[in-house]
Chains A and B, each alone.
Chain A
């Protein structure tokens, strides 16, 4: 890769959106001895992307996210108490002359248990944070769509008396992007809300509506479903896992205005 070629893609490298082979080639190029403005181009691109990030208002994570993390951190003293008790057991064993192999075995088992516990904690935290990051990404996408003048806001009206779920969809057909967000209780046990893209007499499944860590219900609509203009969006309540065609009651419907 030449310096000119690198500078063509420095913006994409800084955004982290290069495909792996090209990213490797770009990173390899940076390792070369001489450059003609490659690092400057990369630095300037990074600074500009940072500025793009500042165009969004900060969002405070829902308290339940942090409560979940704090709860697991607070759970650690109990593990410490177990360790303390185990320490006394080891001391007693030593006092009784059960030293050597048995003591080493106990300590090894204790360390293995601690490692397993710490690993499980880390895995759980990673899962929680990944879910929170997924939600944050969806929120960012929704805010970005909202900022586009060509984005249509489609209100989905409840179709059942007493329904306490509402939803709006942000639809930008030019960029084939749409995010639906809803407010209301999760679907009852054994049921799922399923989203549908309606085009003519076709009802195309657009995924299940999942409750996010914050309690919000957010869903990204597959861009492939937006290649042609939909007539409406609908939400039905289906058996858990959803259905290929709507079978359950219609919960929400919103028509896309033809502009």
Chain B
């Protein structure tokens, strides 16, 4: 069946944020991007998807202890990276 002319999906609502908020967001995104993929996945599934550690373990097929360790290490690394960025940003 031939596809008809496609319409673009409507974008999500436009965000409103100040320059300071945008800088802050970009700073955190940079820090998140430096995490190893498996640590970042654990953080994202935990925070953004709201999954429990057990659900994350089931989804990723990893042992529960591994998931706990990944979240802890990821958060520690993230905190250290954000501290570094904050220190470097100071005049």
**Chain A residues in the interface with B (C-beta under 8 A):** 8-12, 15-19, 44-45, 47-49, 51-62, 137, 139-141, 143-144, 147-148, 150, 155, 157-164, 166-168, 174-177, 181-184, 214, 216, 223, 250
Contact = CB atoms under 8 A, between A and B. Distances in A.
Contacts of B32: 52, 55, 147
Q: Which 9 A-B pairs have the closest CB atoms?
A: A57-B15, A183-B9, A144-B48, A55-B28, A11-B75, A183-B10, A157-B3, A48-B79, A175-B41
A48 B49 contact: no
Nearest to A139: B12
Contacts, number: 139
A51 B53 CA distance: 20
Interface in B14-49: 14-17, 21, 24-25, 28-29, 31-32, 37, 40-41, 43-49
Contacts of A56: 25, 48
Contact of B71 (A12, A44, A58): A12
Contacts of A18: 52-53
Nearest to B42: A175
A158 B17 contact: no
A58 B15 contact: yes
B48 A158 contact: no
B62 to A, nearest CB: 11
B28 to A, nearest CB: 4
Contacts of A44: 79
23 contacts: A9-B72, A15-B46, A15-B47, A17-B46, A17-B51, A18-B52, A19-B54, A45-B75, A48-B75, A52-B32, A53-B47, A54-B25, A56-B25, A56-B48, A57-B25, A59-B12, A60-B13, A60-B15, A62-B13, A143-B48, A176-B60, A181-B9, A223-B59
B4 interface: yes
B15 to A, nearest CB: 4
Contacts of A12: 46, 53, 68, 71-72
B6 A158 contact: yes
B52 A174 contact: no
A10 to B, nearest CB: 8
A8 B68 contact: yes
A166 B9 contact: yes
A199 to B, nearest CB: 18
B2 interface: yes
B7 A15 contact: no
A17 B50 contact: yes
B8 to A, nearest CB: 7
